[in-house]
């Protein structure tokens, strides 16, 4: 799969860059000439990317603010850090719900807030992409907290678009279907769960990480210069039903 983008002289922060979709996005951006700042929890995995790294737990609000203060103004941001805690709706725990919301919604909003403030001060017309999920658009059993957090992220995206557009900052989200990352392979390994999900996708398969990364690069690029406030399903048609 080939797509050509040129992010030379662009500084782009990618959260959740240790693995999965975030790692693929970071690698694609590096290959496209960007100066990538990769944020994640796995120091070894980050070091193998060959770019600037920030190793921390994004749920730690104070540590996150300290790390972001030391960064130069960005031209782009990809909020990809995310977790899932599977619980049935009749047995949710406050601990799991709060953890998922803190990482998937609050931390993403905090990162974008600080990055956008620096963009505005430096008069940079940047682009922000929040990695949401098809779970914000449909009901998935045992995913109440995850669905709620991704729906919140889509709402966050729209508010950011409305507030920051006047400064030339575009904000969009992408909403992938099940993507073959380690987290997804664990969550969807049971045939009883996997097979009905595949049957509901018109294309009949789950996504590869590169199939999410390249649309993200498009939204970061000048090719999407008039696109803002969009939540883009990357789901093989799943949410069309």
- Taking only the tens place, the pLDDT of each residue in 150-194 is 999 999 999 999 999 999 999 999 999 999 887 678 777 889 888
> Containing domain of residue 216, as a range?
11-177+209-233
Cβ atoms 119, 128 nearer than 8 A: no
H helices of 80-200, where? Answer: 94-101, 108-122, 144-164, 182-187, 191-199
3 state DSSP class of 172: strand
Number of domains in the chain: 1
Residue 191: inside a domain, yes or no? no
Task: State mean pLDDT over 52-56.
Answer: 98
Q: Quick one: DSSP state of residue 223?
A: G
Query: Could you identify the residue written with the tokens 């496209």?
Result: 32
The catalytic residues are: 146, 150
- With bands split at pLDDT 50, 70 and 90, how would you rate the model's confidence at 197? confident
pLDDT exceeds 90 at position 3:
no
Neighbours of 214 (CB within 10 A): 17
Residue 57: inside a domain, yes or no? yes
- With bands split at pLDDT 50, 70 and 90, how would you rate the model's confidence at 14? very high
- How far apart CA 82 and CA 18 sit, in angstroms, is 11
Cβ atoms 156, 131 nearer than 8 A: no
Residue 87: inside a domain, yes or no? yes
Query: Could you identify the residue written with the tokens 């403030």?
Result: 117
Residue 188: inside a domain, yes or no? no
Residue 189: inside a domain, yes or no? no
99-145 tens-digit pLDDT: 999 999 999 999 999 999 999 999 999 999 999 999 999 998 889 99
Residue 155: inside a domain, yes or no? yes
Task: State mean pLDDT over 48-64.
Answer: 97
| Structure tokens, 111 | 């990162």
Residue 96: inside a domain, yes or no? yes
Burial of residue 210 (CB within 10 Å: 0-12, 13-18, 19+) is: middle
Mean pLDDT of all residues belonging to the chain: 95
Write out the H or E segment, with its range, that includes residue 127.
strand 127-131
- How far apart CA 14 and CA 59 sit, in angstroms, is 15
Residue 201: inside a domain, yes or no? no
- How far apart CA 198 and CA 114 sit, in angstroms, is 38
Which pLDDT belongs to residue 7? 98
What is the dihedral sign for C-alpha 94, 99, 105, 106? positive
CATH number at residue 110: 3.40.50.720
């Amino acid at each position: 799969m080939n797509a050509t983008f040129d992010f030379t002289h662009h500084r782009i922060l990618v959260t959740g860059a240790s693995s999965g979709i975030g790692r693929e996005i970071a690698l694609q951006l590096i290959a496209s000439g960007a100066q990538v700042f990769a944020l994640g929890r796995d120091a070894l995995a980050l070091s193998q990317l060959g770019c600037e790294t920030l190793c921390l737990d994004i749920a730690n609000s104070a540590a996150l603010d300290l790390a972001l203060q030391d960064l130069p103004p960005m031209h782009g941001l990809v909020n990809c850090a995310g977790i899932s805690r599977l619980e049935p709706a009749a047995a949710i725990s406050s601990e799991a719900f709060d953890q998922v919301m803190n990482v998937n919604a609050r931390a993403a909003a905090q990162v974008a807030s600080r990055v956008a403030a620096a963009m505005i001060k430096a008069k940079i017309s940047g682009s922000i992409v929040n990695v949401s999920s098809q779970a914000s658009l449909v009901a998935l059993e045992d995913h109440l907290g995850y669905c709620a957090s991704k729906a919140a992220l889509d709402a966050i995206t729209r508010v950011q678009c409305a507030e920051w557009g006047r400064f030339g900052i575009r904000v969009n989200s992408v909403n992938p279907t099940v993507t073959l990352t380690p987290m997804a392979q664990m969550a969807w390994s049971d045939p009883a769960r996997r097979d009905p999900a595949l049957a509901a996708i018109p294309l009949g398969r789950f996504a590869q990480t590169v199939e999410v990364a390249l649309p993200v690069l498009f939204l970061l690029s000048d090719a999407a210069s008039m696109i803002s406030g969009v939540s883009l399903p990357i789901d093989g048609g799943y949410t069309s039903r």
